[in-house]
Structure 1
Amino acid sequence: MAALETLGLRPIPSDLDRPGSLLGNATDQGIVGVMFAALLVLPALAPRMPGPGAATRGGGASRATGAERPAPPRPRAAGTLWLLRAGLLAAALSTVLSASRAATAALFAVAVVASVVLVARRASGDRRSATVHALLALAGIAGLVAAVLLVPLSRERIFDVAALDPARLGDRFTIWREAAQLLWANPLLGVGPSGYLDQIAAVHSATWFFDVGSGVTIDSPHNLLLQAGLAGGIPLLLCLGALAVLSAVTAWRRIRSGDDAVLGATLALLGFTIVLLTHFTAPATTLLAALLLGMVVARPADVPIGSVATRTPTASRFPAAPRGRAGRGLRMLGVTALAASTLLVAVSCSAEVALGAGVSAAADSRLADADAAFATAAALRPWDADTRSIAAQSFAQAADSGQPGAPGLAGSWAARALDLAPDSVLSAKALAVSQQYSGDLDGALETLTALDDRAPNDPETLHRLGGVQFLDGRIPDAQQALERAVAVDPDDADAWLTLQYVYQQTGDSAGFARASGELARLGRN
């Protein structure tokens, strides 16, 4: 799928330059590619595999001494080996085709660590073989560089000097700086899960929207540490650090015992962490990372595969699972919990279908169909304020385009969204649109003024506030709000157009000429 999209095809409809294959996001595609490459690199490049019990320091014991001895390695089947190598190649190509800078950096990090491990293993036996494998490792890394150079979008994004311009890199630093300010103001509990989107609006500087674009909102600080801190404060950040340390210690002990599966999972988690230093978490990638973390920290089975009756030394330190009625009860409880969670996830995911249908229907001016679809999505996810907020925003866009009936629907859904998430900026904006087009100018002014107090540098809010004030006859206030809007985002042509009209109505020829010049600069004569 990634290869088809790189060739310009769109098997899955998308208007994005980097669609992201089945994951919907190019960087998420790169993350999955890195993790699969990390899992496959050792088994694909090792000509032999450990025998049963080798991962736990031996699967047998000397009859004379009782000492453990490692089982001899056995060769992999040729078909299996080439299948693993094909999977490794596909994973690496998926990462390169994603054109994600962070994922590509993570892939090279995994390649370097894996190369060191493979060469070190050879060096312990045959130096000539180690030299050969070192040269092969360098050739493999050079092959990755060549692949990046051969894919136009990857080459442009990674090697383009303009992409490394401090002014463009500053966007990410601005995000991190403002997120750190928000965490500093809420160190104990943070702003709660999913609270970043609404709370960060109060921290945005006067240049935020000019730097990142008018109307741009983000729901994550694009950094795993900041995201954890903002979700649960310093305590959650400390818990995350403790989990990382304990997992690393466990992984190191199991890797030293020769467990290549744990080594591959650890490499995958390393790549995942590298990307999340500049990216956000998503279910598709985080679920895979959680599974791999389980591989790292889970205790071995009581009886390893291939052994007859002896337990491994590691496993013997853990109690066996309960048997009899208690064991059956625990198993039944686990199966019930798994079935219930699976059903909940299935129902929740099915709401996405109805939600997408509602957005499409609203865009096509089929408001009744959209309302019914949004109602279905809300019924399937009664706890989710975002479902209602998306409905309100969709109807608000329809109201802005003059669709009859849209203002009332926007107001209804915005009210429901604000009941669940009173601090939602996007829902409040939708409510203001509804109030404006319903003729409730006083209500719209109250909503917009409150929004301006919470997010004083939002050009969208200032633009609509100035427009409503003008409609209400408050001409000086309208002109002031509109001038503030173009000051924080000089490239907002719509705000300049409204301000030009206000200057025209007030007879301000100098202001009108200035607005006309800016509109000409923006191509909106």
Structure 2
Amino acid sequence: MAIFVVGAKLLGGSVSLPQWKVLRLSLAAVSLPLLAVSVMESFGLRPLGGGLNDRPGATLGNATDQGLVGLIIAGILSSQSSSEEGWQLWLRRAGLPASAAVVVLSGSRAALFGLAMVSLYVAILWMRSRKWSGFRTVLGAGAVTAGFALAVFIVPATRERLLSAGTVDGRLLLWNRSLALISDHPLSGVGPSGFVDALPEYLNDDWARSVGDTFPTDSPHNWILQALAAGGFPLLLLALTCVGTAVWLVRKRLMEAQDPDLKRYLVITGVAISAYWIALLTHFTSIGTTALVALLCGGLVGRDSIPAASTLVKPPANAWITRFGPLLPSVGGLAFACACLAVAVPATLAEWSMSSGAQAARAGDAEGADKAFQLGHSLRPWDSDTALLAAQAFAGPATTGDQLSAQHAVEWARLARESTPHSQEAGLALAIGYIYSGELDDAKAVLDELLAEAPSSTSLFVQRGVANFGLGRTSESIDDLQKAATLDPTLDTPWRILSAIYQRMGDAGAAQAAMERAETLSP
């Protein structure tokens, strides 16, 4: 909201053309390093970190966010200006293809569809300005579409992603399960950030086989479903009302705009934002894209203030108000900025300590990791994810037999569950900590509780299989592991654990068969 207000203040009104020009030049400059990182990642390099198997996301951390930012920049830069010349003209001309290339390299279907919309609009507008006939315009639009498709399919990674159906099937299944959740909470939803903890109860065996639970889903990947899940139909109605009001205000702004360059900027920005919202029908909102869109939306609806005429006789002004009244907005704004910084600065500093804690945990320095996480939690005590991330960081080393990491996993997972008692992620980390601390009864109790809420979770069945074997319940352990293998036939972990169990039981043939099965799944 604050960024929206800033956008309305800076980019709103009839004399905002210079600010729009500065914004365009800034976005053009930003697109160049963004393209450089995107190109390096497309060749397998990871200048900003991440594994080779991770889908790249450049400076945004997510491929679709990368594509959406490129889409918005390309849309804004696609409008020409009569006053551009010299280096400004060349910077815009460099930024436009750079931002378009960022979209293509992202491989995001949503962003590519949005870019296609903007490209067609700009092309048709250009053809109409040249007085092309309807038939020639249709042919030109077809040529633009063909050229766009060719540019997209030239990039191997993008072509492979567009032709794969796995993510499409997973998205359809996600929407189906999200609707099941929403149907049980139509008026109130499950609250902000409650989707990730509420969804597992609605996931089924098809989800386990098609998607799995390696990466918990924290959004329905559709802004309409996201609004319904967070606040039910009242929140969706509020969102649609805001959209309708914004459209009405933008229309008024366009009618009032006299400068042709400003009017072109407003129109193409509106088209780019419309493409962004259409793209969000298959993606989730994030700060990386929402901040830029909020700034632009504020600029679209911001209008000149009209002083209200009054015939009333004003009483004599108080001397204090006359002297200090004009300063109140500035003082209020400064106080608000200080309050924001008081939260934002410690939260940002916490990222460094959390990162160093995760690195220390991976390196086996459990004490150093715990100190770093304690510092991060003290800087960001309101964020329940801080404790969750610490618990998950310790759960990994705990599975290798690190007793101290297992104890810390239990401590941090308990803290995380105080804020989010239904968190499957925190519960799993707690169960792993219990298992490798030797508290098997507690581990099984937690896993039984979690499986009652998420009966199709592969990882929960795997961990309960380990706990049951430690408790001497061999047959139950085998049943759990076989259930996990059935839920996710591509997972090798259940078979490796089964092989070890059969080996302990003295059944060499079954152990060998289970290991061979595991090797075929993950050599």
If the length of structure 1 is used for normalisation, what is the TM-score?
0.82
Task: Kindly indicate whether the alpha-carbon contact (under 8 Å) linking 1:445 and 1:468 is maintained by their aligned counterparts in 2.
Answer: yes
Matched AA of 1:498: I
1:151 — aligned with what?
155
1:28 — aligned with what?
65
1:69 — aligned with what?
none
Q: How does 1:474-493 map to 2 (within 5 A)?
A: 474-493=473-492
Farther off after superposition, 207-216 or 368-377: 207-216
Q: How does 1:23-422 map to 2 (within 5 A)?
A: 23-42=60-79, 44=80, 46=81, 48=82, 75-120=83-128, 122=129, 127=131, 143-158=147-162, 160=163, 163=164, 165=165, 168-258=167-257, 259-300=263-304, 302=305, 315=306, 325-422=324-421
1:13 — aligned with what?
49
Q: Give how far 1:199 is off.
A: 1.0
* SS of equivalent residue, structure 1 residue 14: coil
* SS of equivalent residue, structure 1 residue 111: helix
Task: Kindly indicate whether the alpha-carbon contact (under 8 Å) linking 2:66 and 2:106 is maintained by their aligned counterparts in 1.
Answer: yes
Farther off after superposition, 351-360 or 210-219: 210-219
Task: Kindly indicate whether the alpha-carbon contact (under 8 Å) linking 2:208 and 2:458 is maintained by their aligned counterparts in 1.
Answer: yes
Identity within the alignment, %? 34
* SS of equivalent residue, structure 2 residue 205: coil
Could you say if the C-alpha distance between residues 318 and 463 of structure 1 is closer, same or farther in structure 2, counting changes exceeding 3 Å? farther
Task: Kindly indicate whether the alpha-carbon contact (under 8 Å) linking 2:395 and 2:406 is maintained by their aligned counterparts in 1.
Answer: yes
Distance across 1 between alignment mates of 2:309 and 2:179: 42
Could you say if the C-alpha distance between residues 492 and 148 of structure 1 is closer, same or farther in structure 2, counting changes exceeding 3 Å? closer
Matched AA of 1:108: A
* SS of equivalent residue, structure 2 residue 282: coil
When you count helix as a share of all residues, which structure comes out higher?
2
Could you say if the C-alpha distance between residues 117 and 343 of structure 1 is closer, same or farther in structure 2, counting changes exceeding 3 Å? farther
- Map Cα deviations across residues 115-143 of structure 1 (whole Å, 9 max, x no partner): 334444x26xxx36999999887766555
Q: How does 1:433-512 map to 2 (within 5 A)?
A: 433-503=432-502
Could you say if the C-alpha distance between residues 417 and 4 of structure 1 is closer, same or farther in structure 2, counting changes exceeding 3 Å? same
Q: Give how far 1:436 is off.
A: 1.5
Task: Kindly indicate whether the alpha-carbon contact (under 8 Å) linking 2:124 and 2:137 is maintained by their aligned counterparts in 1.
Answer: no
Q: Give how far 1:411 is off.
A: 0.9
Farther off after superposition, 480-489 or 408-417: 480-489
Task: Kindly indicate whether the alpha-carbon contact (under 8 Å) linking 1:207 and 1:489 is maintained by their aligned counterparts in 2.
Answer: no
Matched AA of 2:122: A
Matched AA of 1:153: A
Matched AA of 2:64: T
Task: Kindly indicate whether the alpha-carbon contact (under 8 Å) linking 1:31 and 1:271 is maintained by their aligned counterparts in 2.
Answer: no
- Map Cα deviations across residues 481-516 of structure 1 (whole Å, 9 max, x no partner): 223222212232221233344456567799668645
Matched AA of 1:157: R
Q: Give how far 1:395 is off.
A: 0.7
Q: Give how far 1:190 is off.
A: 0.9
Distance across 1 between alignment mates of 2:279 and 2:66: 11
Q: What RMSD over aligned residues (CA atoms) do the two structures have, in Å?
A: 2.8
Structure 2 residue runs of 5 or longer lacking an equivalent are 1-36, 258-262, 311-320
Distance across 2 between alignment mates of 1:257 and 1:186: 43
Distance across 1 between alignment mates of 2:309 and 2:38: 45
- Map Cα deviations across residues 445-496 of structure 1 (whole Å, 9 max, x no partner): 1111111111111111111112211211223322332232222122322212
* SS of equivalent residue, structure 2 residue 387: helix
Q: Give how far 1:155 is off.
A: 2.7
Could you say if the C-alpha distance between residues 273 and 324 of structure 1 is closer, same or farther in structure 2, counting changes exceeding 3 Å? farther
Farther off after superposition, 503-512 or 26-35: 503-512
Task: Kindly indicate whether the alpha-carbon contact (under 8 Å) linking 1:433 and 1:444 is maintained by their aligned counterparts in 2.
Answer: yes
Distance across 2 between alignment mates of 1:521 and 1:178: 31
Could you say if the C-alpha distance between residues 318 and 100 of structure 1 is closer, same or farther in structure 2, counting changes exceeding 3 Å? farther
Q: Is residue 3 of structure 2 the alignment partner of residue 3 of structure 1?
A: no
Could you say if the C-alpha distance between residues 475 and 236 of structure 1 is closer, same or farther in structure 2, counting changes exceeding 3 Å? same
Task: Kindly indicate whether the alpha-carbon contact (under 8 Å) linking 2:200 and 2:454 is maintained by their aligned counterparts in 1.
Answer: yes
Q: Give how far 1:287 is off.
A: 0.6
